[in-house]
Amino acid sequence: MTFLAPGFLFASLAVAAGIVALHFIVTRQPRAALLPTARFVPDTPATTVARARRPSDLLLMFLRVLLVIAAGAGMAKPMLTARRGAHARVILVDVSRSARDTIAIRDSVRAIYRNGDAVVLFDSSTRVVTGNISSGIDSLRPTLRRGNLSAALIAAVRAGSSLRERADSVELVLVSPFAKEELDAATDTIRKQWPGRARLVRVAAPSVDTAAVGKLEINTDANDPLRVAVTSAGQRGTGNGQQATGNRQRETGNALIDRGTTQPLQTVTPSREGGALIEWPASTRPRFAVPRAVKDTVGGVMAGEAGVVASFERTWSYPPDSLRGGEVIARWVDGEPAAIEKPDGPGCVRSVAIPVTPVGDLVIRTEFVRLVASLSRPCAGITSLIPADPAVVAKLEGKGGLAPRAAFQPVTDTRSDLAPWLFALALAAAIAELFVRQLGKNAKTSRELRPPSRKARAA
């Protein structure tokens, strides 16, 4: 048996030793002596403090010591130590929108999984499969959310700590199509936190037309300042989806920015043709947005790898309900959504709440042009299938041997199955101590009310 928080156990032992010491200090009635002035002494029991060679009230002492030690042992989280195996695996399973081949994902995980392995599912968040893991593998289904390998690797390190007491070494296995959108600037740094090599199991993604050469158009008045940025952005191929070797290439659908003016909208919108309809109203309410309770000013906005530092007056906000079924594609510097995307048939609809001021040089700045290009990139249904650079994926594999158990920190927040029983024992000891004390008081009162014996009266 091992204790995850042994400090509580040591503290309870110290308190128990103090309880035993206190039971050697008792109060008792001194030897009786007749004094002429005894009639002036109040008629109450006279006691004094003295040391005893044997502890008093042994049953009470035992119950108090049991209460303290049981409570301390429960807070120390005792764990029954199982015999360790040679090695175990942490299996990261991609269930994001990039992993569309459900059967291939399930078959790959079944071929790898062994009893005792940890299985972590990830898309934009992570979750550990518990209970009947085999049944959980059979029910794997991809979601509509973007994958995040950085979050998955952080969860893998934590899962490795949970296997520390069960295996001498831990292997990391990644099952994923490794789409480009799943990696970010922090992925490489976080990968180095895993102290060993990893096994990459690539699940083939469907072939996709990856050329981002669709036209970017705008539906607005002639004097709209955003028209200048759209003209500078030109076609959205720059920085918005690299062509992948071996995949077919064609236009993925045009992007149309609708400013909500009096100009008639195209009869067939790009979202119906596999493109993006970007609703970016000049003054009216953006779709899915609500008025802010208090208007404020923010100092910047970020979309993908494009960021703009400027003063923006925020009039609209996106409530949590508006994000259901979609994703945030741009954020203000304080983390609030500035633009969101939702699927619409073969394409998508985007709502943008970024004000464009006609004052100053904002619309001709390079970073703002890049922001416009990023907001008009292909829909998530297309970008989620673009594979990552093979050189970047190769870094995930790493070098060296398997991660040793000593490289992981012990998990201190693991649930202990013994702790509830120890707390129940402490509670039972506390209740029993109350009854014993009451019985002691009743016995003492009975002795005081008992008439003195003949020998005492004679004395």
CATH number at residue 243: 3.40.50
- Structure confidence at residue 245 (pLDDT): 37
Same domain? 40 vs 119: no
68 assigned to some structural domain: yes
Residue burial 88-108, b: 16+ Cβ < 10 Å; e: rest: bbbbbbbbbbbbbbeebbbeb
| Domains of the chain: total | 3
The three-state secondary structure class of 4 is coil
- Structure confidence at residue 144 (pLDDT): 80
Same domain? 72 vs 156: no
Same domain? 285 vs 229: yes
Same domain? 322 vs 433: no
Region 136-163 average pLDDT: 89
The string of pLDDT tens digits covering residues 316-328 is: 999 999 888 888 9
Domain of 199 in residue numbering reads as 85-207+388-407
| pTM of this structure | 0.60
Tell me the residue ranges of DSSP E strands in 318-363: 327-332, 337-344, 347-352
- Whether 216 and 376 have beta carbons less than 8 Å apart is answered as yes
The string of pLDDT tens digits covering residues 181-210 is: 898 888 999 999 998 899 999 987 665 554
Which of 354, 322, 327 has its CA nearest to residue 338? 354
Same domain? 98 vs 154: yes
Same domain? 103 vs 55: no
- Structure confidence at residue 206 (pLDDT): 62
Task: Provide the mean pLDDT of the chain.
Answer: 81
- Whether 342 and 326 have beta carbons less than 8 Å apart is answered as yes
Same domain? 364 vs 256: yes
